[in-house]
Structure 1
Amino acid sequence: MKFNHIGIPTTSCFEGEIPLPKLSMTVSDHKNNPFGIQWQRYDVDAPYPDLVKTVPHVAFEVDDLQAALDGQRVIIQPNSPIIGLTVAFIEVNGAPIELMEIDRSICEEDI
């Protein structure tokens, strides 16, 4: 696994907001700082577990998402928010963890 970012939920506005209407959320650019800090504000109707919307999560890149999910408590099933990226969330010791499989040969963004 390789660290990618830490997502910190907030209900406040923040500098550098990037609206993601298809995902029902607004984020900051986690690449604008050397520590991968990303602020996240979820829309009222965002279809995510409260744990994800209220507790910070750490995101890791994995080579094989299905293998990484084996034996884990999955709280958001694998999905592809953009071409070349598949993500899922698990719960570990009461905290959300994001697992990301990135195919950089076709991924639309620098993740």
Structure 2
Amino acid sequence: MRRYHHIGIPTTESKPGETHLKDLKLFVVSHLKSEFGVEWMRFEADAAVPDLVRRVAHVAFEVTDLSSELAGRQILIPPNSPSDGVRVAFIVENGAPIELLEFTDPKHPARLSNQMDV
């Protein structure tokens, strides 16, 4: 199963409501703070992130089996767990970054089924 989750837009400008994720060297505004599910990402200069993710907006999908979704794909960022209860990876599709999220905690606050419609 694949379900649209959010759009992530890289920026070089500070945005209201940013959270600093020191380990990732990333300032982020959660998609949960946006009426339209936009996640803003501002990377520190030395963040270990592929240039494609720094420059190009990505679409994110919630998936039920991250490992099977990655099979045969061009992996840009291998599976990792930026927070408890979620596994994330980036792939490349026709030159664009795509984020895949697998929630291992059914009550994770970023999981779409835990959110209200707007």
The TM-score range, normalised by the shorter chain, is over 0.9
> Which amino acid is 2:98 matched to?
I
Residue equivalent to 1:9? 10
Query: Aligned equivalents of 1:17 and 1:75: distance in 2?
Result: 25
Q: Where does residue 113 of structure 2 map in the other structure?
A: none
| 1:66-81 mapped onto 2 (5 Å cutoff) | 66-81=67-82
Structure 2 unaligned runs (5+)? 111-118
TM-score in terms of structure 2 length: 0.87
Give the counterpart letter for 1:57 in structure 2. Answer: H
Displacement of 1:105 after TM fit?
A: 4.0
**What is the aligned partner in structure 2 of residue 37 from structure 1?**
38
Q: Conserved in 2, the CA contact under 8 Å of 1:57 and 1:98?
A: yes
1:47 aligns with 2:48: yes
Alpha-carbon distance between aligned partners in 2 of 1:29 and 1:82, rounded to the nearest angstrom? 13
TM-score (norm 1): 0.92
Task: Give the drift of 1:15.
Answer: 1.2
- The residue aligned with 1:87 is 88
Identity %: 48
Question: Aligned to 1:81, what secondary structure does the other structure show?
Answer: strand
**2:64 counterpart residue number:** 63
Number of paired residues?
109
Q: Which amino acid is the alignment partner of residue 3 of structure 2?
A: K
Contact 1:77–1:88 at 8 Å: present in 2 too?
yes
In structure 2, the partner of 1:100 is 101
1:106 deviates by: 6.8
